Structure 1
Amino acid sequence: MSQKVYRLKELMDVVGLRRSAIADRLAAGDFPNPIQLGPRAKGWLVDEVDKWLAERMVARDGKAAAVKAAAASKAATDQAAA
């Protein structure tokens, strides 16, 4: 099994978050947990980070679809009232 690993600096570039924001999300349980690579080294599995990013995109797209549906419903209601 060959897994690629992000170290913190690369992770910050990939997800667009700073160290403190990653720490906050880890504490809240809203970010993939790191794996211990050595006594002082941690890393994040690329597959888990990619899945987390995909979940963010789905959440974004779901919200966008809900906003569009609400706008269409309001427009239809406004048109029917006119």
Structure 2
Amino acid sequence: MSLLARKILLKKEVKAILRISADSAFDDMWKNHDFPKPLRIGIRRTGWYADEVEAWLKARNDERYNAEAA
């Protein structure tokens, strides 16, 4: 996939998807390597690739179902 074809989500959009309101809680997630690293897209702006966020969500969902099956 071309880098130009990959959708970039801004912090506000990712927080809305994850239903997290606090910046500090969200920042801790990726600083502690529990979430994909952000991509710097400006001097003060970062973003995340939508496909990486979706893969992270899928992995959390798979963990949930694997734990229930065990």
Superposition TM-score tier, normalisation by shorter sequence: 0.7 to 0.9
For the aligned residue pairs, the C-alpha RMSD in angstroms reads: 1.0
Q: Which has the higher contact order (CA 8 A, sep 6+)?
A: 2
Confirm or deny: 8 A CA contact 1:37 1:43 kept in the other structure: yes
Q: Which has the higher helix share?
A: 1
Aligned to 2:9: 6
Q: How does 1:1-82 map to 2 (within 5 A)?
A: 1=2, 2-18=5-21, 19-66=23-70
Gaps of 5+ in 1: 67-82
Q: Provide the aligned length of Structure 1 versus Structure 2.
A: 66
Partner Cα separation in structure 1 for residue 19 and residue 57 of structure 2: 11
What TM-score do you get using the length of structure 2 for normalisation?
0.86
Gaps of 5+ in 2: none
Partner Cα separation in structure 1 for residue 63 and residue 20 of structure 2: 18
Partner Cα separation in structure 2 for residue 39 and residue 52 of structure 1: 26
Q: State which structure, 1 or 2, has the greater radius of gyration over its C-alpha atoms.
A: 1
**Counterpart residue type for residue 32 of structure 1:** P
